[in-house]
Each structure stands twice: as structure tokens, then as C-alpha cells.
Structure 1
Amino acid sequence: MKKRLIIFLSFITFYTIGCTDDFVEVEPDGFNDSDFFNNQEEYESALVGAYDMLQATFWNVLTGIVASPDYAAGGDEFNYDQPTLQNINLMIHTPSDENQLRSIWGLMYAGLNRANFILEFKNKSEFAGKEEIIAQAYFLRAYYTFELAKFFGNVPLKTENRNGVLRIMDERIFPEDEFSMERVSDLATTYSLIEEDLKEAIANLPVTQELPYEATKGAAQALLGKVYLYHAKFDQSKYAEASTVLNQVISSNQYALTTGETYQMLFEGEGENSSEAVFEIQYTGIEAAGWGCIECSQGTYFPQFCGPRSPYNDPVYSSGWGFCLPSVELYDLFEDGDARRDVTFFDLRDAQDSYTQSRDDTGLFNKKYMPRKADDGVGADPLNYSQNYRAIRYADVLLMAAEAEAQSGGGNAENYLNQVRARAYGDNSHDYTSAEGSLLEAIYLERRKEMAGEGHGFFDLVRTNRAASTIEGFTPNKNEVFPIPLIELQLAQAEERWGNPGY
């Protein structure tokens, strides 16, 4: 069972974006940043505040899932109750579609800025262990920036040349900066900026951490490998770099695939922070939330989106809002004997009269993140379920490494692919053979099945140039990224400077 973690913001109430009319909020009256960062405790408090924004990434996961062709947005059958999600699912979204997109934009910048706050004052005080705190801040800044890049492309950042390398500036973004900030020159350069932060983080992160929410060396290496794979769309030499760093994660022997009954519980409470967890975002339902500030909860209400619409009665699962509905086509990809099918899908096709059907109802639900009754009642259900998000799993690392090896001529691609398959089937009866055709295509298919319902599929299709041929309504040179919300462009007076092409 996971350690219950309540993240106290303490003084860190600044830079909460998304429910305001400002690009970046200034700190509240009474806080003087020049009087802070005097000792280890104050650095650690700031770091906790930077981690806290990871809990807002459930918006990212939900949006990524409904953008995938394997999932329908769902929702009310007669009304567009979540129009942004429903428009994204149809690939007809525009800058006027705010809701989730504005939350992703604002909250990821908030996280980036909290990391920047630490880095701006990284040299103010000295104490044993400070290098690790700074390394975690670089990891977090990379994580938030990567999320922004995935969704919006080459986003506006403050940059500088440091020791001959282009870097993100170690200083905060203030409200007035929005009027002069420019977008990074291109997406490849944005990925390079993220890579530099991760390389700096890796140098001073430990192999293990005492607290489950803290980033490790392996987490930073895995994220760096993923960024290299995205960068490889523009520079194929990055496949070899991805292979190198992902092999370091594998050879560290810090992680292992869960198997058998343990795998069946991987997305349950008992499966949190398992041997497969490379980086896991922690949630707790202890601290109550309210509709006025959903992000203020320490829980997640993503599972509420995934449950069957009320009225629905089940001994294990609660009713939900009927979003992120898996397709029958996705279900049919899983063969009999594939343990992942029962982990991935909650199948009510023989009981569709037991719940209120959603728009695009398939009778299938995203079981990995269903609302569970065992999770109810701790706080302010349905706003703060305590189900962790498995941000980077070891199976993800193996499949990324397999792809990188296949693309760069390495010799381990089949081995890594077969490890994932052997866990799924319980033996090596489904090892890859050349009779299947392309090894790379086999890896793509395995990734589609293994990572289903976790928010990666849409981005995998984009980075491998398969989105246009796979997603109905997808417009090339437009839908690879999402529109920056119109209100944010207007506030920054940047409709021409920042607007994404085609929107």
C-alpha cells in the first residue's frame, strides 16, 4: 500500500494559474522572496510546492486519452457537457475551446515557475544535500516543459546561452514578461532545452528515494529517453541517444515487471509504487476539495470521468460520468490469454441497461482508472480520489528502449518486446518472429495495447508520423499540437506571435 502523502503548500500559494485572468500571478501580499531560501527547510518547502503541481496533470491524461482514436470522449448523450473534450475527440477543436486546454497551459506553467523559483535562488544558501534538491527542481522543470511541448509545441520560454549551451533561464516568469516573451525557435530546440535540464538532474539524483513522490536517477533517465524519442522526429540520431539512456535504466536492476496476480492489481491501490513504478504521481483523498478550485485538492477526479454514468450500482466501482470510452476495435486487438485485457477494460456490453448510456457508448470502460468504492468517502468525492497516476512504468521503458534499439540498429529490441509479451501471456509462446512482419510495427502495436488508457497513444501517433493516417479528422501541420487558448493569447497580446498554425 502506498504511503499517504499530503503535500502542504505552506508559503507556496503563488503562481497558481488557470482560474485567473493573468498569465502568471505574483505572490500574495506579505511574502518577501528575498527573505526566503535561508536554510534547507525552506528549500525543501519550495520543492514540495513544485511537486504539488504534478497532481494537476490529470487534465493532461484525460485530454490525451480522448484525443486518441482508440477512445471516444463520451459524456452526456444529449448535451455537449464537456465540449472541449468532445471537440478534441472529433479533431474540430479551436482556440476558443478552453476548459481542459487552459488548465493544462496555466497549470504546467505554474509548475515550471515553481521550479524556476528554486533555481533562481539555487546559490543563496549552502547546506549538505542541496545538490539533490536542485536536481529535483531541474527534473520537475523538464517534466512541466515537456508536457507543454507535447500539447502546444515550441512554447514561449525565457532562454539564455549558458556555458555555450542554450538553456532555460533559472529565473521566474513574471506577469510583464508575457508581452516580450517569444516562442522557442522550433520544437526540436524545445526538446533540446528539456534534455539539458534532465542531464543536469541525472548527475545529482539518487538511485532510490525515501519518499515515493520524489524523482530518482532512473526516473530522470527514463524521461530523458522519452524526450529523445520525441526529438527523433526531427533528428534521427536521437534514437541512439534514447537507446543509451534507456538501457541505463534497464541495467540498473532497480525495476521489474509485476506478474501474475500482482500484475492484475497493478492499477489498484495495492499496486501503487510497485517494482514497475519508475515515476508515479501520488494522490491522496484525505484533504477535501471543492468545485471552486478542483486543483486545490490533493486527490484526483480523473477516475470520476471514467465510470459508467449514474444510475449504476456495483459492489466495487462507483458510478461516474461516462467519458474516455474504449473502442471495440481496441478490445479486439487483445487475444484470449492476454492478461492485459482484463486489466485494461471494464466490460459491460452484456449489461448496458445497468447504467445510463453515454454519447458513443461502447459498453467498455477504462478499468485502469475507474472510480473505486474503496476510494470513496475519504475527502470530497468525486473530486479527490486517491488513485496514483503511473506516469512512467517499467513496461513503458522496455517498449521505448525496444523502439530506440530497432530504430538505431541495436540488438536488444526483440528481447525487450518479448519481456513485455511474456508478462502479458505468462510465458514465451508469443515471442516475436519475423513472420509477423516489421519488428518496429510489432513494437508500435505492443505499445498501443500495453499503454492503452494511460494518455500516451495520441502523442505516440504524432511523434511517429502516423497520426494523419490513423485519426479521423486529423489535419497535418495543424493537429500535431493543440491550440493555445484564445484567452491566453489575448491576455498576452500575442495572437500573432504565439498562435499555433492552422487554428
Structure 2
Amino acid sequence: MPLVTFTVDPSNSILNDKWVAVYEGITRCNNVLKYLALATDIPHADGVNIKAQARFLRAHYYFDLKRVFDKVPWIDEATTDFTPTNTVDLWPKIEADMKYAYDSLPESQGDIGRANKWAAGAYLGKIFLYEKKYSDAEPLFTAVINSGKTPNGLAYGLNDQFEHNYMPAYETNNPEAVFVIEMAANIADGTIANGNQGDALNFPYGATTPFPCCGFFQPSFDLVNSFRTDANGLPYLDDYNSHPIKSDEGLLSSDPFTADAGFIDPRLDWTVGRRGIPYLDWDVYPGQDWVRDQRYAGPYAPKKNVYWSATQAADADQSQWAPGSSINVFVIRFSDVLLMAAEVEAQLNNLDQAEDYVNRVRNRMALHPEGWVYKYSDDTDPSAGFSGDLAANYKISPYPAGAFASQAYALKAIYFERKLELAMEGYRFFDLVRWGLAPTALNGFFASESKLVTDVTGGHFTTGKNEHYPIPQQQIDLTQKAGKNTLTQNPGYN
């Protein structure tokens, strides 16, 4: 809760765990680079590929640290002083690693989890976007969109069906997979849980849920309301909370509930479990019986990280105290690239191109209603499949030609589209910070959401402080030199 409400302090052990885990990744990259330089029996092309992959991953890890903590020390394969300062700008070093990867990696890698040239190009564009170097990012995104391929040779594109991104059966032939972290389940040796343990706390959990734990990753009312669409199939960019989607907050699962009859973006029901809608092939989502405590965090449940009942034997990992899954984790997927490119084009005032990219994302759903959520053929037997009747009143349309008539409107629409398309995937906070919208958006969220639930009560975003989390105090203490701190704490946490 302190992480969510921005009441966290430098002693928080979760922050220290994050720091240690990411630097462990960096250390492994550095060891590869150090010992690769000493190897004499590796063919040149293989050596270049290995080096480029290691530098790609090191750039990825430092990018992650930079977003979370901002002031972090640079440690590479040549470092000998392990009490460095953290006041040097890391962006040029992150750029250099990813630029090397882009220039050196092959297009084909075979394994879908390995970085290739195009993953590096997309990531380098993302780095430039965070630095607001729009002119540098634009040609990279253009090249990735027009020529990019997955490591196993598929031209980048959007899956016709949105939900296929979160189904392991489609992972090998997924044109949307720019860079993914591959997950596995049911590893034969049984020594470690290889499923996505990041999901361990985040399955629906309640009196009748089929999942053993834990119910702490609940979508907010604010997020759900964002999926309301108007009569034209477009979102309410400014006042979506004034057009709320009906919920069953405060109702027992046994209480009668009539579903919302208004227009809804169909992506909602592949993102959020809500009352009366099929929850994958498990059951019609019953509301309270599938949440830990409605009063605490509301009536909704996540969906994107949950495996299907029919494939649980292959996709569920139950080797630890809480469930994991073999669903791959996207670091970058193609719709993300399209929306980052749209943002860059809007910042450069290429508004028609920006609108085209956004509409490509929206048209995935608008043109493929077969990818919407349908009612079960038989509610008492979800395994019998789905009927031809839609589960809700879905409506989604592309923006009409010329809608992006001003830069301000274009950016507002792009920002909102990212909220919808990438919901529950870990992008939103970092987007709000880099856009400079975090104070208004998050404090508005705390004010409205805390009227409905208690988990965000007391939350407040302070400008100049909460853009980043504090440097873990344990790391400051461990890296002292001659009794003096070498790491500088972030503003507002001293």
C-alpha cells in the first residue's frame, strides 16, 4: 500500500529487492562481456551476437532502474570501484548500449525470447521518446513498423484477436511480440517455479474462485470507466468518470444484477473481470465471491495474466504457494510501438500519421468482432464454448479522418489510447510521469477512487518527489566509503 499511495520511505524492503534483482541482471551481462573478451574459440559472428545481446539486456536493466529510481550508479564490465556515485546522467550510456545492439544484432534469432535487431530498434526509439528526442525516435519507429520482424521471422503486425496476446498457444506465431520475457510452467526437475511468479498475488481470489491465491491486482473504477464509448464508438477523453460503467460494488454474488446497457470498448472484457461477463472459460464472473474484499479495492479482477481452464494443465504453474503461469510477459509489443510512434509523430506535428497509427490499434477490434467476448453456450458448462451472442453492448470505431486537427487533441487521444490498449501491463505510471501529467491525474484518481474503496485512502503525489522512488537505504549504507555515503538520495526522501 505505501508504494501505491506514495507514502513509502527508503527502508521499504520491496524497493531493495527490486534494486538487487535488477543489478543481478546487470552483473550477469557484465560477466558475459568480460569473459567473452577473453574467449578465443568463439566464431566472430557468434561473438558479436552474444555481445550485442548482453548490451541490449544491460540497457534494458538500466532503463528500468532509471525509470524507477532515476539516480543509479553505472556498473559495467570494466568497473573496479564498486562504491561509485549515482549523480552521472545514464541516458548516454543506455543509448550507447542499445545503439550497439541495433547496429549489431541479426534480424533472425530463432528463439522468440531473444532480442533481435528490430527489438533493439524499437527499444532505442522508446529510450529516445523518454528523453523527448522525437526527431531521433521517428526514423527508428518508422523502420520498425515498416520492416520489423520477430526473432523467428514474422513481419510485425497486430493479432486479429486481442486476447491471443495472452494465450501461450499463440506465442510462437505472434506477430506482435517485439520483445518478450518467456515464461514456462511445470518444469520437469521441479526445483524451481518457472511460471510467471510476478503474477503470484494477482489472480482472482474469493469464496468460490478456482484459484488458490491471492487477489491483490484489482483494476480500478477509474480504469473500467475509461472503456466507456459514445454513440460513435469513441472514448470520453475528458469526462469518462461522468459516464461510469455499472458495477456490482456492495452487492453479494447472490444479489440480482443487471448488466450495463451502454456502449463499451470490447477490450474491457479481455482486460477486466466484471459481473455477469464470461471470465475466459472459467465461469460467468460472479462478483464478490471472486474478490478478496470489495470495500478495500472494488469488485473487479484482472484477466490478462490468467490462464484458461482448458489449458491449465500446460499453462498453470502450481509449484509454489501461489499460482504462476506460462503466459509470456511483454516488454514491448507491436501495438505499443504503434502508439509510441503516434506520440512521436504528434510531437513533430505529423498529425495525420499519428492518427493513422492510433486507428491501426483501434481497428484491430473495430474490424474483428469475432475477437470480442461472447456469452457461453451454456452458463452452467463454460467448457461447452461460446455462443453467437455478445456478452455486452460493444462499440468501437477509428477516429474519423481529420480528427487529429490539433497537436493538443492528438496527444490527448494518444495518451488515452495507451491507457486502454496497455491496461494492467505496467505502463501507466511511467507514462504519466514522462508526460508531466502525474500530479493532476494521480491526485484526481486518489480523490475519486477513495470515495469508493479504501486501498488508496491517503494517497498523494508530490511533484518533485514522487516521480521516482527512494534509493533503498540499505544500498546507501552498503556502499559507504570511508564512512561517507557515495550514493545520493532522491529529492524529498532525506
How high is the TM-score relative to the length of structure 1?
0.72
For residues 269 and 372 of structure 1, the distance between their equivalents in structure 2, rounded to whole angstroms, comes to 10
Q: 1:447 to 1:289 in 2, by over 3 A?
A: farther
For residues 266 and 157 of structure 2, the distance between their equivalents in structure 1, rounded to whole angstroms, comes to 13
Aligned counterpart in structure 2 of residue 309 of structure 1, from 195, 202, 205: 205
Equivalent residue, structure 2, for 1:401: 341
Amino acid of the structure 1 residue aligned with 2:343: E
Shift, 1:306, TM fit: 1.8
Conservation of the 8 A alpha-carbon contact between 2:479 and 2:487? no
For residues 387 and 376 of structure 1, the distance between their equivalents in structure 2, rounded to whole angstroms, comes to 9
DSSP-derived class of the 2:439 partner: coil
Q: 1:90 to 1:332 in 2, by over 3 A?
A: same
Aligned counterpart in structure 2 of residue 492 of structure 1, from 468, 479, 486: 479
Equivalent residue, structure 1, for 2:413: 442
Deviation readout 1:125-175 (Å, 9 max, x if unpaired): 2414211111101101101111111111031114xxxxxxxxxx43356xx
Deviation readout 1:213-241 (Å, 9 max, x if unpaired): 21011111111111111111xxxxx1111
Shift, 1:304, TM fit: 2.8
Identity %: 33
Any residues of structure 2 matched to 1:88-103 within 5 Å, and which? 88-99=3-14, 101-103=15-17
For residues 288 and 149 of structure 1, the distance between their equivalents in structure 2, rounded to whole angstroms, comes to 37
Shift, 1:275, TM fit: 0.8
Structure 2: gaps (5+ residues): 150-154, 230-262, 277-284, 369-395, 444-459
Shift, 1:343, TM fit: 1.4
Shift, 1:271, TM fit: 3.3
Q: 1:500 to 1:372 in 2, by over 3 A?
A: farther
DSSP-derived class of the 2:140 partner: helix
DSSP-derived class of the 2:195 partner: coil
Shift, 1:497, TM fit: 3.1
Equivalent residue, structure 2, for 1:200: 100
Amino acid of the structure 2 residue aligned with 1:116: N
DSSP-derived class of the 1:121 partner: helix
Conservation of the 8 A alpha-carbon contact between 2:9 and 2:470? yes
Q: Does 1:281 align with 2:143?
A: no
Q: Does 1:300 align with 2:300?
A: no
For residues 109 and 200 of structure 2, the distance between their equivalents in structure 1, rounded to whole angstroms, comes to 31
Shift, 1:196, TM fit: 0.6
Equivalent residue, structure 1, for 2:235: none
For residues 43 and 411 of structure 2, the distance between their equivalents in structure 1, rounded to whole angstroms, comes to 48
For residues 271 and 397 of structure 1, the distance between their equivalents in structure 2, rounded to whole angstroms, comes to 20
For residues 400 and 206 of structure 1, the distance between their equivalents in structure 2, rounded to whole angstroms, comes to 23
How many residues are paired up? 387
For residues 473 and 425 of structure 2, the distance between their equivalents in structure 1, rounded to whole angstroms, comes to 28
DSSP-derived class of the 1:445 partner: helix
Equivalent residue, structure 1, for 2:165: 266
For residues 134 and 405 of structure 2, the distance between their equivalents in structure 1, rounded to whole angstroms, comes to 25
Q: Does 1:127 align with 2:30?
A: no
DSSP-derived class of the 1:392 partner: strand
Any residues of structure 2 matched to 1:379-418 within 5 Å, and which? 379-380=319-320, 382=322, 384-410=324-350, 412-418=353-359
For residues 149 and 399 of structure 1, the distance between their equivalents in structure 2, rounded to whole angstroms, comes to 22
Structure 1: gaps (5+ residues): 1-85, 159-168, 233-237
For residues 289 and 357 of structure 1, the distance between their equivalents in structure 2, rounded to whole angstroms, comes to 33
Shift, 1:339, TM fit: 2.8
Amino acid of the structure 1 residue aligned with 2:296: D
Any residues of structure 2 matched to 1:77-476 within 5 Å, and which? 86-99=1-14, 101-124=15-38, 125=40, 126-128=42-44, 129-158=46-75, 169-171=76-78, 177-179=81-83, 181-185=84-88, 189-232=89-132, 238-254=133-149, 255-260=155-160, 262-273=161-172, 274-287=174-187, 297-314=193-210, 318-334=211-227, 335=229, 336=263, 338-348=265-275, 351-358=286-293, 360-370=296-306, 372-373=308-309, 374=312, 375-376=315-316, 379-380=319-320, 382=322, 384-410=324-350, 412-426=353-367, 429-432=397-400, 433-434=403-404, 438-472=409-443, 473-476=460-463
Q: 1:341 to 1:353 in 2, by over 3 A?
A: closer
Conservation of the 8 A alpha-carbon contact between 1:302 and 1:369? no
Amino acid of the structure 1 residue aligned with 2:146: S
Moved more, 207-216 or 358-367: 358-367
Amino acid of the structure 2 residue aligned with 1:446: E
Conservation of the 8 A alpha-carbon contact between 1:320 and 1:371? no
For residues 411 and 69 of structure 2, the distance between their equivalents in structure 1, rounded to whole angstroms, comes to 27
DSSP-derived class of the 1:258 partner: coil
For residues 306 and 2 of structure 2, the distance between their equivalents in structure 1, rounded to whole angstroms, comes to 23
CA RMSD of aligned residues (A): 2.5
Shift, 1:287, TM fit: 3.5
Deviation readout 1:273-324 (Å, 9 max, x if unpaired): 411000110111234899xx9xx6432222232222243334xxx2431112
